[in-house]
Amino acid sequence: MNTKYYRLLLGLIVLLLIQQAFAQKDSSGIYKTADDFAQRKLSYAINCKTERHKINPNLIFNGDEVKIKHLGNTHLLKKKEVFGYRDCKGKEYKFVNDTEYSILNPGELLLLYYYLHPAHSPKNANDYPAAYYFSKDAFSPLLPLTKANLKAAFSDNHSFHDKLDAQFKNDKNLTDYDRFHKMYKLNWLLKNNIN
């Protein structure tokens, strides 16, 4: 396939995903599957401006469940059977092994995640440091965000490897945001270096 055509097609797909993400900013609900997340399809969905419900992923005695109060009914779902959720602030989360990870960039190609341990505080930041992860897409497992893991995940894309080394001197800069292109720099590099 022609590289120029492939990039144009990929750009259109990303544009549609971003447009859908912005169109749904006022909604909240559950993503039952990775496919639902990729298609931006919410279950137990509401319009936050006109409706109310409650999603509680942090149950004290049932840490493996998420509780949804929706249309007067309470639903308990196993986190391992649910992809994640979006709250009324527009923030999105993914469940992995009963743990909640913030999705930093739901509309981009390469997904970035942030995890902050519930016990984290400025006093014990060294004991419970914040951590960043990535996945190639909604269907792929989370991996620690390092240049080595990115290169392994995109093992055939040597152009991307070279740009990673040129753009990022160390792993801590991998979450840099490109304000001009309105996306994370990693995704800008990947978008422009697709094999």
Task: Please give the tally of structural domains in the chain.
Answer: 1
pTM of the model: 0.79
Q: Nearest Cα to 96, choosing from 131, 46, 61?
A: 131
Q: Could you give the CA distance from residue 65 to residue 22 in angstroms, rounded to a whole number?
A: 28
Residue 15 confidence (pLDDT) = 47
**Residue spans of alpha helices (H) in the chain:** 3-23, 34-39, 147-153, 158-167, 185-191
Identify the domain containing residue 109 by its residue range: 3-191
Q: Nearest Cα to 31, choosing from 45, 43, 48?
A: 43
Residue 193 confidence (pLDDT) = 85
In the sheet where 73-78 sits, what is the strand order?
54-56, 65-70, 73-78
Q: Could you give the CA distance from residue 104 to residue 84 in angstroms, rounded to a whole number?
A: 13
Print pLDDT tens along the chain (195 aa).
566 655 555 554 544 444 444 445 678 999 999 999 999 999 999 888 888 888 888 766 668 888 888 888 889 999 999 999 999 999 999 999 988 999 999 989 899 999 987 765 666 666 677 899 999 999 999 999 999 999 999 999 999 999 999 999 999 999 999 999 999 999 999 998 876
Residue 21 confidence (pLDDT) = 46
* Conformation bin of residue 170: beta by default, left when phi > 0, alpha when psi is -120 to 50: beta
